[in-house]
Chain A
Amino acid sequence: MLSVFLEVLRRDLLLAWRNRADVLVTLAFFTIVACLFPFGVGAEPNLLRTIAPGVLWVAALLATLLSLHRVFSQDHTDGVLEQLLLSPEPPVLWVLAKVLAHWLTTAVPLVIAAPALALLFDMTQSATVVLILSLLLGTPILSLLGGVGAALTLGLRGGGMLLALLVLPLFVPILIFGAGAVDAYLSGTGASAHLMLLGGGSLAALALAPWACAAALRIAVE
């Protein structure tokens, strides 16, 4: 059981490493989207400090969204997905491994890049720490829910836009609590409530999303 999980995880990470340009493009996208905002709203430091958490979170949402097609589409085209579904192993396990691989190759680089971007927005060090915590706790939900969306839109024409329409409304609560954590910290009320809700959301998504994802994959491959 565990060997399937580890094997799929290892394989997906290896594939991501071989195509590391994809990972870097996602990271570049994240950076560029965040950098667009000062041009749009003006470079006044107080304003930038206020919008920074929201901007970085929105950029992270969009970057995750654009990377979601990587989770299943290649395996769908070359038939690996079908073989995995035919295998006697429970699909929830390897779905979880694939989502974890996506999180490790998309969200973790974003989290690492976030402090540098926080500097551009003149965020204080302690606020940056809260931002990183919120990203670490919240991005697993993005990968898990996004995985369901990616499975549902697998192989459809116009899948990318459709995926955005499906998952972005579901991402709104994560954006609220993620960006809200930093705001709450800065306003002095403390970020712990937001962070706990994000963590709880991650656990709930971890418990429920792989099942929906596996069911959606079965439908897509039928």
Chain B
Amino acid sequence: MESGQRFSLFRYAAPNVFYPLAGRLAPWFAAAAVAFALVGLYLGFFVAPTDAVQGEVYRVIFIHVPAAWMSMFIYLIMAFWSAIGVVFNTRLSAMMTQALAPTGAMFCFVALWTGALWGRPTWGAYWVWDARLTSQLLLLFLYFGFMALTRAIEDPRRADKAGAILALVGAVNVPVIYFSVKWWNTLHQGASVSLTKAPSMATTMLMAMLVMALASWAYTIAVVLWRVRSLILERERHTDWVGEVLEAKGAQA
């Protein structure tokens, strides 16, 4: 332990210090998520103009694009926490990684699902083997692999470390997968649908999308903090402070 009052970056790496902090922060982020989502959905569904080419169906992007961004970004954050966990051997970072994975997989699935719903009227097919769709699908498999591995290992410390290695190996591979799939797609020239030729977007559309992106950020942070709190309680259940926390909760109820 560091002596004295010196502020330490690692102060909140201790689960018992982080637990109350997460409890205080989570409701704020949840409230922010709801507020941003309401504003974003209002902008997206009532203010933003109808698209000249695609009609009303384009409005799915207000959910689709933030979900796709988030699903990729969460994997990066997982890799970040894994690296921290491997270097500093902190328990909390592994718990963060594991708390992030289900949300990442959820966003990945939402992005694929809304993409399929958008693709049907626009491309005439629920699924095309487009580079982005395919790499998103593989990302979903990476999330599943991570969750399956950490769940399959009974010893939590081994699960943490194995998960960290897998997340790092996966993170190195994500760009390789993305570019190889992109190249494969351009070589095959099957469904020649280009997503890259995005027409210039109306400002309100962009605003709505950005606000929705903020909403998914806030949602992710809130959910992950709550999940990490449960993980901390589960992992630290043999300690005195968890006993005190649970007793206090029991007294309240």
* Chain A contact residues, CB within 8 Å of chain B: 145, 148, 152-153, 156-159, 162, 165-166, 168-170, 172-173, 176-177, 180, 183-184, 201, 208, 212, 215-216, 219-220, 222
Known: A159-B152, A219-B165, A220-B162. 20 other contacts (CB 8 A): A152-B149, A156-B152, A162-B149, A162-B152, A165-B144, A165-B148, A166-B148, A166-B149, A169-B138, A169-B145, A170-B170, A170-B173, A172-B177, A173-B180, A176-B181, A177-B180, A180-B183, A180-B184, A219-B162, A220-B158
Chain B residues with CB under 8 Å of A183's CB are 187
Shortest distance between the CB of A126 and any CB in chain B (Å)? 19
Q: What are 18 A-B interface contacts by the 8 Å CB criterion? A: A145-B169, A152-B149, A153-B149, A159-B152, A162-B148, A165-B141, A169-B145, A172-B177, A173-B181, A176-B184, A177-B180, A184-B187, A208-B172, A212-B165, A212-B169, A215-B86, A216-B165, A222-B158
Nearest A residue to B159, CB-CB: A219
Check if A176 sits within 8 Å of B180, measured CB to CB: yes
Check if A166 sits within 8 Å of B166, measured CB to CB: yes
Check if B152 sits within 8 Å of A158, measured CB to CB: yes
Shortest distance between the CB of A159 and any CB in chain B (Å)? 8
8 Å CB interface, B173-224 against A: 173, 176-177, 180-181, 183-184, 187
Chain B residues with CB under 8 Å of A148's CB are 165, 169
Chain A residues with CB under 8 Å of B157's CB are 222
8 cross-chain pairs, A with B, having the tightest CB-CB distances, nearest first? A173-B180, A169-B141, A176-B184, A219-B161, A166-B145, A165-B145, A176-B180, A169-B138
